[in-house]
Amino acid sequence: MLQRDVTREVATVRPPEFSRSERVRVLVAAAVGSVVVGYAAVAAVLALVSATATYADFSTAGVLSAAAPAWLAAHHVPLRFDAGQLGVLPLLPTALLMLLIGRTAAGTADRLGLYEPLQARGVVLSISGAHAVVGGTIALLMGEGVVRATPAVAFFGCAAVSGLAATLGVARRCGLVEMVFDKLDPVALQGIRAGFMALFALVSVGALAVAAGLAASWPTTSGLFAGAGPSLGVGLGVFLLCLGYLPNAIIAGFSYVAGAGFSLGGVEVTPMRFVGGPVPPVPLLAAMPESQFVWSPVVLVGAALVGVLVGWTCRKISDRPTSRLRAVLVAAITAAVGSLVLAATAGGRLASGAFDPVTVPAGLLAFLVALWVLVPGALVAWLAGARAKPVVAEDDDAEFVEPDFDEPVDEDVVFEDDELTEQFEQLEVVDSDEFEVEEDLEDDDYYDEDEYEDDVVEEDDEDDEDVADEEEDPLDDEEDLDAEFDEMLGMDPEEDLDGKPER
């Protein structure tokens, strides 16, 4: 929320709005510029390789025409040959192209002073539309040549890759990130962050596995580089080929350490199973295991440690164990979806030869990643998380302290204890005269008959008035009242009041 407020404040000092024609000119320049710069970068790499090759026929027209299918491959559009289809495409050019498009989109948003989510539509649609039109046109011009591409696939493939890159470029500047995160509760948000952290950690473990494989088989790797060709251009081309497919190899290593493994034609490599066979003479493939080892299942410990790390991260999210488990579940789903996308882009068809296809099992990898994150993470988050403090029950045997009634009680005080309130309500002011009458009657051994009769008459009059005020008084008769006083004084009810009772 603070970041959004800062964005609002910055918006007040942005440059004035452009006219419609100026906005269109800026959007067209951004769209065309991203296409031209990307195409020029691909052509420059091809020109460098052709210029350093010994027997290559270098020409500007040849380089520009060869850059067209390479530009489609950078957008992850499959290419077709007479021998089959090339679907396993290098991911490094795609990542660099998306970075270029994202920077262009971000610069366009800054230039136009965009700061709201709906304002990002123009930038994204212009860039993705330009790439889609150029990609479809290139596929149509290639026709039925040596290298071909399906125009519809090229159109939508270029639009999808460029549109995603442009959206990521303007997401923070136009408030798209805040708009999405504001709709998530804190537990889900922490779970998503933990899921991306888990995905990054698993990919890092896969990269370490690839690096360890290349280091262990360095003699084979150097021998393959030396056997590629004596010229600098050939060695540079092989190096660029390995560099372009390095993200694919890292994803394959990530799938290996997670337990799903990968396959290259008839070769299948997993921590639990190994099926050997011929592989292409590419130095990067020297990192593959050459046989099944006893210690191969040990690599699964890395995936388990990542799950423990997720649980340790989620242990302080909430005092409620169910909230921590929900965060771990969100993290597992996030990591599984991310691994599914990576695995789907890393493999594909490799012509129709002995090495076709290159497969990273996306579904199995996503399932195993979800398990590696969910099971250890849930256990750690449940056991290592904070516990809610127990509520101390009130002691029923606690001594009740009677309040002091000598002090005045404020009538505005509200008593929260029901029992204490009832005791206050039941309290009555006692007239001390009653006790004086009873004490006088008990203490006097002799009394005057006339005084007694006068007292009885006065009390009878008072009782009659009380009966008139209170209809529910059981003493309705004067005789009953006299009988009650006689019994209280220890006299016989049948005895005449004229005589003095004996002691």
Domain boundaries, the chain: 1-183, 185-389, 415-503
pLDDT of residue 55: 64
How far from 376 is each of 42, 194, 307, 402, 442, CA to CA, in Å?
A: 45, 14, 5, 57, 87
**262 strand-pairing partners:** 269
Token couple for 403: 């309040």
Report DSSP state, residue 470: -
**pLDDT at site 425:** 53
Strands 79-80 and 85-86: antiparallel
User: 98: which 2 tokens?
Assistant: 């998306």
Predicted pLDDT at 59: 77
Q: Give the per-residue pLDDT at 260.
A: 93
Mark the ranges of the chain whose per-residue pLDDT is less than 50.
1-14, 398, 400, 402-417, 424, 428-453, 455-457, 467-476, 493, 495-503
Residue whose entry in the numeric block shows the structure tokens 């003479």:
281
pLDDT of residue 405: 43
Res 1: pLDDT: 45
Q: Helix, strand, coil % (nearest 5) of the chain?
A: 65, 5, 30
- Confirm if 135 and 77 have CB atoms less than 8 A apart: yes
CB-based contact 98:178 (threshold 8 Å): no
Q: What is the pTM of this model?
A: 0.72
317 contacts: CB under 8 Å, gap ≥ 6: 186, 187, 190, 323, 324, 327, 381, 385
List all residues 6 or more positions away from 257 whose beta carbon is below 8 Å from its beta carbon: 202, 205, 206, 209, 271, 299, 300, 302, 303
Supply the pLDDT for residue 30.
93
Give the contacts of 90 (CB within 8 A, at least 6 positions apart): 73, 241, 244, 245, 247, 248
Distance separating alpha carbons of residues 359 and 88, to the nearest angstrom:
9
